[in-house]
Amino acid sequence: MQLKKRLLGEKNENKAVNFLMKKGFTIVERNFYAKKFGEIDIIALKDGVLHFIEVKSSRGSFEPIFNITPKKLHHLISSATYYLKVKKLTFPWCIDALIIKGNSIELIENITI
């Protein structure tokens, strides 16, 4: 079961990368792991802004955006801050969600406001 879930997640992340590239994003890194805080699915750059993107998907009627809990959001922000510190970057940045439901893909930018 876990392998199947991981393969589906990888397939959806690949869809997300293709979608982002078509929208003019440059993929900087995938699956960055910050030991204390967790993983960032995709890090991409567009128009001088670094986007830390969480990919969520669902095959059923459940809305995947609800899987981004306040705790998950806190971990994403901490991971992004850690990434910027480790890489010594000073780009403006934001946290985004990329939602995949069936064949529909939606990018929700700056979910922390």
Give the model confidence (pLDDT) of 45-65 as tens digits.
Answer: 999 999 999 999 877 677 888
What pTM value is reported for the model?
Answer: 0.90
Is there a domain that residue 55 lies in?
yes
Distance CA 73, CA 88 (A): 22
Range of the domain at 93: 2-108
| CATH label of the domain that carries residue 98 | 3.40.1350.10
Strands 93-101 and 49-58: parallel
Q: Quick check: 93 and 49 in contact, CB under 8 A?
A: yes
Distance CA 56, CA 66 (A): 9
Is there a domain that residue 101 lies in?
yes
* C-alpha R_g of the chain: 14
pLDDT tens for each residue of the chain, 113 residues long: 576 666 767 888 899 999 999 999 999 999 999 888 899 999 999 999 999 999 998 776 778 888 888 999 999 999 999 999 999 999 999 999 999 988 899 999 999 86
Number of domains in the chain: 1
